[in-house]
Amino acid sequence: MDDAFAKLPQPPYYAVIFSSRRNGEDDAGYGQAAQHMVDLASQQPGFLGVESTRGEDGFGITVSYWESEAAIAAWRQHAEHAATRAYGRTHWYQHYELRVAKVERAYGKRIGQQHITQERADQRRADEEPTST
């Protein structure tokens, strides 16, 4: 199990893609608030999961997943979330972009414990990849 990956149902569902550049200030306060927001979001109706990462350069992407646009709207209006967003805009971020999207297709692969030989990998490629010739 890799908890960084959201465990999601089959599409369709909705994604909120939040890209941001931290301003380098108040790492402790930001970290605490970010974790608290994830905990709070997880308790909201319609929340499906979240994936988040940030590089050493301060640029980060967080994608939260929701059952419906109504669930996103309700979370947006959650009082503590709204207050934290307002605080974050002036204290933590240099720049951010937010995009709301409807996920239509999804697939993935977790490499198992077994060793994947090149032969099997080639076979899998033949099975899965559209040819381009």
Query: Which residues bind to its own copies, rule: CB under 8 A?
Result: 2, 4-6, 11, 15, 17, 19, 21, 23, 51-57, 59-61, 63, 76-79, 82, 85-86, 89-90, 93-111, 116, 118, 121-122, 124-125, 129-130, 132-133
Output phi, psi for 124, to 5 deg.
Answer: -65, -40
Q: Report the residue number, 28 or 79, with the smaller CB distance to its own copies.
A: 79
Residue 87 three-state SS = helix
Q: Smallest distance from the beta carbon of 39 to its own copies, in angstroms?
A: 19
Q: Smallest distance from the beta carbon of 46 to its own copies, in angstroms?
A: 17
Residue 48 three-state SS = strand
Q: How far, in Å, CA of 13 to CA of 18, rounded?
A: 16
Output phi, psi for 47, to 5 deg.
Answer: -70, 135
Q: Report the residue number, 42 or 124, with the smaller CB distance to its own copies.
A: 124
Residue 5 three-state SS = coil
